[in-house]
Amino acid sequence: MKLDLSLFKENLPAREEYLQSYTPGLFRAIEAAHTITTSANVDWDSFTVSEAKAALDMAMNYLDTETLDENDDVANNGNAIHEFLHSNYFVNAFRHLVPEKETDEITFI
């Protein structure tokens, strides 16, 4: 089986406009706050003060599931904290998937 990655890339949906303004440093600041327990382990050169402030603002504006109306499923859309948590969830889910083996040979072109 041959998979054409360029064709796959062409068919991907366009990124949301709000995602285009996010910087890698913003997500590094979020990751540091979310996973690192001591400041000595933080790579302070990987994000700026303004990115850290933006991450803090988004954390303060993040709505937890207990305060959400059951009809409002997009309350945190556009929030980098929300994007970070969902990305981590899906990456971990993909890591634990067992692929179905339908063919012996797959070629990426």
3 state DSSP class of 38: coil
Contacts 24+ apart (CB under 8 A), 54-57: 54/26, 54/29, 54/80, 55/26, 55/29, 55/30, 55/80, 55/81
SS3 percent helix, strand, coil of the chain, rounded to 5, is 50, 5, 45
Structure-model confidence comparison of residues 52 and 16, the more confident one: 52
Among candidate residues 72, 87, 90, the one with its CA nearest the CA of residue 22:
87
Q: Where are the domains of the chain?
A: 2-108
**pTM here?**
0.64
pLDDT of residue 42: 94
Helix axes 49-61, 24-35, angle to 10 degrees: 60
What's the chain's average pLDDT?
Answer: 82
Residue 39 clears pLDDT 80, i.e. is over it = yes
In this prediction, residues 14-41 reach a mean pLDDT of: 86
Residue with tokens 């790579």: 43
Longest Cα pair distance anywhere in the chain, in angstroms?
A: 50
